[in-house]
Amino acid sequence: MDTINAGDTAWVLGSAGLVLLMTPGLALFYGGMVRAKSVLNMMMMSFIALGTVTLAWVLWGYGESFGTSLDGLGLVGNPVGHIGLSDLLSADAVMGPPGHQIPTLAFAAFQATFAIIAVALVSGAIADRAKFSTWTVFTVLWATIVYFPVAHWVFDFSTPTHAGGWIASNLKAIDFAGGTVLEINCGAAGLALALVVGKRLGFRKDPMRPHNLTLVMLGAGLLWFGWFGFNAGSMLAATGGTAIVWMNTLVAGAAGMMAWLGVERVRDGHATSLGAASGLVAGLVAITPSCSAVTPVGAIAIGGIAGALCAYAVAWKFRYGYDDSLDVVGVHLVGGLVGTIGIGFFASKAAPAGVDGLLAGGGVDQLWRQVVAAVAVLAFSFVLTGALGLALHRTLGFRVDRDDEMRGVDLSEHLETAYDLVARGGRLGVGSAAQHLPDARHHDGHVPSSALDALTTPPQGDLA
């Protein structure tokens, strides 16, 4: 026990709290971007991951991600190796290099918050139209089949006594905080799921402008704040290298925002608030894998390229006709690829990872490793998510019916309305609504439209 470094442990536990805040932040970021009739559902798709993924993580997810590799293949950890994390409660359960040891349980807590937000990220691709029950099942199965194994590939390093993942230990691609595990993985999953679930009614026809950009700005701010835990916390120690990572996280967000706004100003004539929020996230996405491998100047390049490229990539869905509603592909997949592959170009020996990229005279050795890791995660995630999504779509159904989608998934999936701005819908009263509304449900739990009409139709008011 005396081997634990208190400063490092405090930083990792604090970082875990920062990263956890990113999921409610993402809920705001996504929630503001959808229409008013589905903001609660959008936020709940993130919040439910806080519940389901946490439980899965404690029971089998940590084992799948960081347990000893099954057969030493580096593909998936032993899911029954750490059930309930009870083996991590002992004072002997420590990890890290001498002098920087932290409780393994602190690491398990930190990584739990990554798994949660990874699942929540995917939901942006299927806004406004998904059945909440099916999404809830999806969160558990997707984490189990896709996220936990990929986390094992990339984040679990082999030691003399532990067989880790193939990308971390054999390929030796650099992905410091999850450019492949989270960004490329979630982007590819979002694309697959958007294709399975299909386009929103009125896609490319009806205006679907964001209903509350102030929520989007607040969410983007919380994401940036939490991202310092995400990236700098991934050092698992409070060192000089941690400071470099922290600074790169600040710089890339700034560069991403400026680049996106620059593209907008030139292309569309105005710098928009949604562009600022999107650009800073694009920059942060790209610096996630690369924050340990580049200098702040490299972070400007990577964040800037991501901000500019993503500002164009978000238009692809209209050109090619897939309804990735909130641009999980355009921001996270594209930004993740920029950051992951960008390491091969912009890496510098001066950064903690200690590798020179192509532009620093390091040749293509690191570049090809980055490309292989990116393509492997992209393909694995796209294929498995597509298969899982199709299986759920054919059995449980992934999509609400047409009327419910028109009326809004807040009502059909949660029987709630986000905003009661004029307070005119109160005929039933709070107490009576709570008592009587469940009676209006059919035995299958479906709410007949007459009950919903009572909620949505205001009483006829008089003039003056």
Partner 1 sequence: MKLITAIIKPHQLEPVKEALEAFGVQGMTVSEASGYGRQRGHSEVYRGAEYQIDFVPKVRIEILAEAEDTEAIVDLIAITARTGRIGDGKIWVVPVEDVVRVRTGDHGRGAL
Chain residues that interact with partner 1, rule: CB under 8 A: 207-210, 264, 267-270, 272, 274-275, 278, 311-312, 314-315, 318, 327, 330, 463-464
3-state secondary structure at position 77: strand
Q: How far is the CB of 429 from partner 1 (least distance, A)?
A: 23
Our CB check for partner 1 shows the closer of 97 and 207 to be 207
- Residue 61 makes CB contacts below 8 A (sequence gap 6+) with 53, 112, 115, 143, 144, 148
Distance CA(246)–CA(269), nearest Å, equals 33
Rank residues 92 and 268 by Cβ distance to partner 1 and give the closer one. Answer: 268
Beta bridge mates, 95? 102
Q: How far is CA 210 from the centre of its chain?
A: 20
Nearer to partner 1, 157 or 312 (CB): 312
**Cβ-based neighbour number of residue 11 at 10 Å:** 23
SS3 (DSSP) at 436: helix
Cα 162 to Cα 156: distance, rounded to the nearest angstrom: 9
Report the nearest approach of partner 1 to the CB of residue 209 (Å): 5
**CA–CA dist 279, 301 (Å, integer):** 14
Q: Tell me the closest approach of the beta carbon of residue 276 to partner 1, in angstroms.
A: 11
With respect to partner 1, which residue has the nearer C-beta, 6 or 266? 266
CA distances from 49 to 38, 45, 221, 365, 422 (A): 18, 7, 21, 38, 32
Minimal distance, residue 22 CB to partner 1, in Å: 21
Helix H or strand E segment including 268: none
Question: Is the CB of residue 248 less than 8 Å from the CB of residue 306?
Answer: no
Closer Cβ to partner 1, 8 or 264, answer by number: 264
Q: Residue 416 CB, nearest distance to partner 1 (Å)?
A: 24
Give the residue with the Cβ less far from partner 1, 283 or 357: 283
Q: Where are the alpha helices (DSSP H) in 268-324?
A: 273-290, 296-313, 316-320
Q: Give 271 or 358: the residue with its C-beta nearer to partner 1.
A: 271
Specify the residue, 259 or 447, whose C-beta has the smaller distance to partner 1.
259
Rounded least distance, CB 314 to partner 1, Å: 5
Residues linked to residue 77 through DSSP beta bridges, in sequence order: 69
| Single-letter code of the amino acid located at 381 | S
CB of 37 to partner 1, least distance (A): 17
Provide CB contacts within 8 A for 420, sequence distance 6+: none
Q: What amino acid is encoded at 17 in this protein?
A: G
CB of 330 vs partner 1, minimal distance in Å: 8
